[in-house]
Amino acid sequence: MVVSVAAYPWEKWFWIYDSANDKYEQKNCNITVREWEMEKVDDYFENIFKAIKKPIDEFYLIIYWDYYNEIRKKFVELSKKHGIKIFRIMNEYELHATVALKYVKMDSDSLWIFRYFFHVISCEIWEKNNNQQFTISELLFQRRTNCEPNFVGTDLQNLRTKIRSTSTSPTIVVFQTIPKYIFERKNRTIYKIPPKLVYYNKNLNAVGIDLGTSECYASVIRRNGPEGIVLDSKTCNRNLPSYVAIDELNEPCGQYVINRMERKPEFLAFDGKRLIGKEFDEIVIDPLWSFKVINYCEQIYLLFYDKENVPAIRSSTYILSCLLKQIKQKTEKFQGTNIRDAIITIPSSFTEKQKDATTDAANIAGWEIIHFLPEPIAALFACSYETDIPDKSIALLFDFGGGTTDICISKIFNGKIEILIENGDAFLGGKDFDRLLINHFNSALKHKYGLNVLETNKKYRLMVKCREIKHTLSVQMDDNLFVDDFKVDEDDVIPITRKEFEDMAVDLILRGKNLIADTLKKAKLNRDEINIVFRVGGGCRIPVIKQMLKEMFPKSKHQCSIHPEELVAKGAALYAYELKNEKNVKDNKSMFF
């Protein structure tokens, strides 16, 4: 007789197979173990044994990549303590290949497993090696253009073109679990709101990081609550511009790099977040980039040439690791101790491949343990910290960042946040407004003064000036671009008014409106049902954005923090504190319900 168990540690159920009666049975466990909850592993095994009431011969634990070595070792160690004869940790890919090889007749040396998720299709290519054993050779993803379960044809064809396997007659297995789609749509994600305390334990070193497209922020929980960290060595400001110089020792980041980019643009790297983890054919080339984007070993790399035409390459993962390394150094200096873990926020639209690449960047930077939190959720945590939100309110959060826009509609009840819908646009952000001004002023300089700035290194000066003008137009009705910044002998200005700027942005504003309307439609809500609107991100300082939201939600209460660009990092730090503090309380409930 052999008793086998298979379990997902984050689920409150597991499967048991007893060979004596050839019977499968699903049983409940009273405890779950998330990737950070090492102290619960022993109780997890005890609860399973209590439910089975017999010795276990084989135990198969299915976990994802974010269960790191530390907790994996804990599972192995305690499995021996509990007398389990065979204990094996499997990932999801091994699991599906095992099922396929058991139940599907194999007449090929190549096995292709397609899996349909709500937002993405994946393909795992397994091929026989010289020992006649199947090993995984490719792992591919294709974002879905239509999330209905039955509409996958075009996306499947796009994914097929990425496959490098030369097999002409592979065995194909498709996993499409329709109940999973129903679960993702009807069973909403619920987060516990981190409680607001009078005093916090600063020694927990709870760190939250907003790894932004344009700027990065970090926050840590001190005695009186979240506190922003000074990240930029040049300006001593809390914002760290997401710019990296790869030609200097230790790859400096931030304002220092911006200040030198006109003189030394050859090794200037930015927009790493727009590149990380993406397929080459997904990249939209920006004429302001000083580098070329290449597909090298199936990864996105940045190619640089110095003045002597000597090349250098860096991966987008490495560029983000430089930013995360500086954030780690500044955080440790601020806290006066070594710090190994943090919460890093990501856009709601991030794919698994983008998450994996961001994890690699964090590991390269020295962060040993990281957890991801969607940026809108982090912002909601910060908003609930700053504002008392009435119970049973329905809130719409509009997060307008430097490179992306995220929308989240949620219901607040009993100290919890129920996510009704998340939506976003990965190509709509503050930089798109910058680009409008850049094109406007370059056209004026070209026609009136014969200067095509975008063909010279002065395009970086124009980029900086346009960003400054955008900020000025958020508080003033007009501003000027000084021509002598680009042509020394021309003492003239090119004026621009807020109205002109807003007229240029009509299409971008329309995209924002359509995104909100689409989100409401998916949530099956009308505008009047939204009780409160939270504006998050530096882009929400733009008056036309404020006006758009007030016109769309005239009956709602509108809230915006004094520093809206810092909310995401603040919320991530509050979440990090709650995770760490869980270990110090008896009622060890998960943040994730």
Task: Write out the residue range of the structural domain in which residue 271 sits.
Answer: 202-367
Instruction: Identify the CATH number of the domain in which residue 51 sits.
Output: 3.30.420.40
Domain check: are 208 and 139 in the same one?
no
65 and 133 within one domain: no
119 and 170 both lie in a single domain: yes
In three-state form (DSSP H/G/I as H, E/B as E, the rest C), the secondary structure along 454-493 is HHCCCHHHHHHHHHHHHHHHCCCCEEEEEHHHCCCCCCCE
Residues 208 and 352 occupy one common structural domain: yes
pLDDT of residue 282: 84
Count of CB atoms within 10 A of residue 262's CB? Answer: 17
Same domain assignment for residues 245 and 290: yes
Is the pLDDT score of 160 beyond 90? Answer: no
The torsion angle over the Cα atoms of residues 559, 562, 565 and 566, rounded to 10 degrees, is: -110
Asked if the structure places residue 520 within a domain, the reply is no
Q: Is the pLDDT of residue 563 over 80?
A: yes
Q: How far is CA 42 from CA 67, 114, 587, in A?
A: 16, 36, 16
Q: Quote the pLDDT of residue 474.
A: 95
Per residue in 382-392, pLDDT (tens digit) is 999 999 999 99
* Mean of pLDDT values over 490-517: 95
Q: Would you call 411 helix, strand, or coil by DSSP?
A: strand
Query: What is the mean pLDDT of the segment spanning 71-77?
Result: 90
Q: Is residue 590 part of a domain?
A: no
- The overall longest dimension of the chain from CA atoms, in Å, is 93
**For position 586, what pLDDT does the model report?**
34
| 292 and 351 in a common domain | yes
Residue 421 lies in a domain: no
Are residues 40 and 114 both part of a single domain? no
Pairing outcome for strands 493-497 and 532-536: unpaired
pLDDT for the residue numbered 411: 94
Rg of the chain over Cα atoms, rounded to whole angstroms, equals 26
The answer on 300 and 211 residing in a single domain is: yes
Q: What is the pLDDT of residue 225?
A: 95
pLDDT band at 154 (very low <50, low <70, confident <90, very high): low
Higher pLDDT, 92 or 482: 482
Distance CA 169, CA 477 (A): 66
Higher confidence at residue 302 or residue 150?
302
Structural domain contains residue 95:
no
Question: What's the rounded mean pLDDT across residues 581-592?
Answer: 45
Alpha carbon distance 302, 214 (integer Å) = 17
Cα angle value 386/392/393 (rounded, 5°): 55
Query: pTM score > 0.75 for this model?
Result: no
Average pLDDT over every residue of 29-47:
85
The 8 Å CB, 24+ separation contacts for 512-517 are 512/400, 512/405, 512/428, 512/545, 512/548, 513/548, 513/552, 515/405, 515/407, 515/423, 515/424, 515/425, 515/428, 516/396, 516/398, 516/407, 516/552
Domain assignment present for residue 58? The answer is yes
The pLDDT, as a whole number, for residue 179 is: 33
Does 195 map to a domain?
no
Q: What is the pLDDT of residue 486?
A: 93
If asked whether residues 156 and 217 sit together in one domain, one would say no
| Choice between 90 and 324, residue whose per-residue pLDDT is larger | 324
Whether 553 maps to a domain, the answer reads: no
pLDDT of residue 178: 36
Torsion on CA atoms 22, 28, 29, 33, rounded to nearest 10: 100
pLDDT in the model for residue 53: 86
- Examine the fold and report which residue of 64, 90, 116 is the final residue of a domain before the chain moves on: 90
Residues 357, 229 share a domain: yes
Instruction: Say if residues 236 and 424 touch (Cβ distance below 8 Å).
Output: no
Question: Residue 132: its pLDDT value, please?
Answer: 77
Predicted confidence (pLDDT) per residue in 98-129, tens digit: 777 766 666 778 888 887 765 567 788 888 88
Helix (H) or strand (E) holding 395: strand 393-400
Higher confidence at residue 68 or residue 370?
Answer: 370
Among 367, 396, 429, the domain-final residue is 367
Counted residue by residue, the chain has a size of: 593
Q: HSE on the CB side for 93, CA within 13 Å?
A: 15
The string of pLDDT tens digits covering residues 214-236 is 999 999 999 999 999 999 999 99
Element (H, E) at 113: strand 110-116
Is there a single domain that holds both residue 237 and residue 160? Answer: no
Min mean pLDDT across 133-137, 435-439, 487-491, 516-520 is at 133-137
Tokens of 287: 């004429």
Asked if residue 397 has pLDDT above 80, the reply is yes
In a domain, 462, yes or no: no
**What domain count does the chain have?**
3
Please say if the pLDDT value at position 182 is more than 60: no
- Report the alpha-carbon distance of residue 304 to residue 318 in Å, rounded: 14
Q: What is the pLDDT of residues 186-196, one digit of tens each?
A: 345 788 899 99
| pLDDT, average across residues 474-487 | 95
Residues 170 and 214 in one domain: no
Strand partners for 122: 115, 141
pLDDT over threshold 60, residue 585: no
Q: CA-CA distance, 592 to 480, in Å (whole number)?
A: 50
* pLDDT for 323: 97
Of the residues 367, 384, 399, the one at which a domain ends: 367
**Which whole number is the average pLDDT over 449-465?**
92
For 10, the token pair is 């984050």
Per the CB < 8 A criterion, the answer to whether 571 and 377 are in contact is yes
Ranges of beta strands (E only) in 201-322 are 207-211, 215-222, 225-228, 240-241, 243-245, 268-270, 292-296, 299-305, 311-315
